[in-house]
């Protein structure tokens, strides 16, 4: 395995981030870029995943753009105070199991929360990480030739009023929470970003390198 590269893009509009992520995906698929973890923050935006009926779950975008994207899942919000992580990485042959990959992203987010004494967990309703029955991290990916892109958003001190303009992940907006609701004072976004980088590096190095026979499956379509 080549070393994982980490890129920090700061706060930027979603269309710019998407174009950069798409270029990075093309380079990774073509063997011109290493596995890369992108960490960033977005200006207010609603993104629509491929789930049927996602557009109907947007009720009042309040001037923020609504953008259809390639990832799985329903509608969600991205904005200031939310850490967004885009791992653009090739899943190794012995780890071509998308359920295990999603579970791994959940594991990383839970490890980050644990640094601040917050117990995150899973919920049978959908992917993501939950705290005390409310969702704190949303996950949605797309895959091309076994290279994963899009990723995870972790609510740090994001304005939750934005979620009340939609049905996030097709659910009631009251089911969304943030780290600031559980930790006082809330950690800075840069601090959470550094923790996510460290925990993702450690998890990815172990998970991607460990052999595990029997997981080879046909490549998914884009």
128-164 pLDDT tens trace? 999 999 999 999 999 999 999 999 999 999 999 999 9
**What is the token pair recorded at 63?**
């001037």
Confidence of residue 53 (pLDDT cuts 50, 70, 90): very high
Provide the strand spans (E) within 43-167: 45-48, 66-68, 75-78, 82-90, 121-123, 126-131, 134-144, 147-155
Range of the domain at 203: 5-209
Domain membership flag for residue 215? no
d(CA 204, CA 200): 6
Q: What is the pTM of this model?
A: 0.93
Other CB atoms within 10 Å distance of the CB of residue 81: 17
17-38 pLDDT tens trace? 999 999 999 999 999 999 999 9
pLDDT value, residue 124: 80
**What is the token pair recorded at 167?**
């049905």
Q: Provide CB contacts within 8 A for 101, sequence distance 6+.
A: 91, 95, 141, 148
Q: Whose structure tokens read 């579970």?
A: 103
Domain membership flag for residue 90? yes
Please report, for the domain that includes residue 73, its CATH number: 3.30.930.10
Q: Catalytic one among 136, 142, 169, 189?
A: 169
**What is the token pair recorded at 66?**
């609504």
**Is the predicted pLDDT of residue 2 greater than 90, yes or no?**
no
Looking at residues 186-205, what average pLDDT do you find?
A: 97
pLDDT value, residue 217: 37
Beta-bridge partner residues of 88: 36
**What is the token pair recorded at 185?**
């004072």
Domain membership flag for residue 214? no
**Is the predicted pLDDT of residue 112 greater than 70, yes or no?**
yes
CB 162 within 8 A of CB 75: no
Domain membership flag for residue 219? no
Nearest to 84 by CA among 208, 202, 189: 189
Rounded-to-10 torsion of CA 48, 54, 57, 59: 50
DSSP-derived secondary structure letter, 181: G
Domain membership flag for residue 221? no
**What is the token pair recorded at 19?**
């174009």
93-109 pLDDT tens trace? 999 999 999 999 999 99
Confidence of residue 126 (pLDDT cuts 50, 70, 90): confident
Residues making up the chain, counted from first to last? 222
Domain membership flag for residue 141? yes
Domain membership flag for residue 30? yes
**Residue 40 is among the residues annotated as catalytic for this protein:** no
> How many domains does one find in the chain?
1
The CA-CA-CA angle for residues 101, 103, 109, to 5°, reads: 110
**Is the predicted pLDDT of residue 210 greater than 80, yes or no?**
no
Percent share of the chain, pLDDT over 90: 90
Confidence of residue 1 (pLDDT cuts 50, 70, 90): low
Domain membership flag for residue 93? yes
CB 113 within 8 A of CB 120: yes
**What is the token pair recorded at 178?**
């943030």
């Amino acid at each position: 395995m080549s070393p994982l590269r980490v890129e920090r893009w700061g706060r930027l509009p979603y269309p710019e981030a998407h174009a950069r992520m798409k270029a990075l995906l093309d380079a990774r698929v073509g063997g011109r870029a290493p596995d890369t973890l992108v960490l960033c923050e977005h200006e207010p935006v609603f993104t629509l995943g491929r789930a049927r009926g996602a557009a109907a779950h947007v009720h009042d975008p309040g001037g923020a753009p609504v953008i259809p994207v390639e990832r799985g899942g329903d509608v969600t919000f991205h904005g200031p105070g939310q850490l967004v992580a885009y791992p653009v990485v090739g899943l190794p042959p012995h780890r071509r199991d998308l359920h295990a990959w999603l579970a791994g992203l959940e594991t990383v987010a839970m490890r980050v929360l644990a640094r601040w004494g917050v117990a995150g967990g899973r919920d049978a309703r959908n992917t993501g990480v939950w705290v005390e029955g409310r969702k704190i991290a949303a996950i949605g990916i797309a895959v091309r030739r076994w290279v994963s892109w899009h990723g995870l958003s972790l609510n740090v001190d994001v304005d939750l009023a934005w979620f009340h303009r939609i049905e996030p992940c097709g659910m009631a907006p009251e089911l969304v929470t943030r780290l600031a609701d559980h930790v006082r004072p809330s950690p800075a976004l840069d601090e959470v970003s550094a923790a996510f980088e460290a925990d993702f590096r450690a998890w990815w190095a172990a998970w991607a390198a460990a052999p595990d026979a029997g997981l080879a499956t046909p490549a998914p379509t884009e």
